[in-house]
Amino acid sequence: MVWRPMFNNMNPYWLVVAFALLTQFFVFVRWLHRRMRDAEISRVFVCDIASNHLPHIYHALQLIAEDRGIGLPAAPAVRFLELDGAEQRKRRFSS
């Protein structure tokens, strides 16, 4: 009984197909990760603008309008709501 490797009878084109499938899978995973990261960056940017910068912008707008003699209503209260509850989950798990 002579031992023969099982790979001798394997068609070499299967290796090309396997390589192509693995390459496409890794490119897809990389694309998905990048898309999720970009969405997170956008969400953090909008939250930062809403909570930190808009009150200062409204204040400067009020000063400019006062200087020009234009009457503006009071600035609205700026609140950024996490509708999916992600902020509460972060607080819960970090404590």
**pLDDT at 42 exceeding the cut of 80:** yes
**pLDDT grade for 6, boundaries at 50, 70 and 90:** low
Contacts of 59 (CB under 8 A, 6+ apart): 75
Matching residue, tokens 């490797």: 5
For the chain, which residues make up each domain, given as ranges? 9-94
Mean pLDDT score, 61-71:
90
Does residue 47 have a pLDDT over 90? no
Residue-level pLDDT at 53: 83
Q: pTM for this one?
A: 0.49
How confident is the model at residue 74, as a pLDDT?
Answer: 81
Kindly state the average pLDDT of the residues 73-86: 69
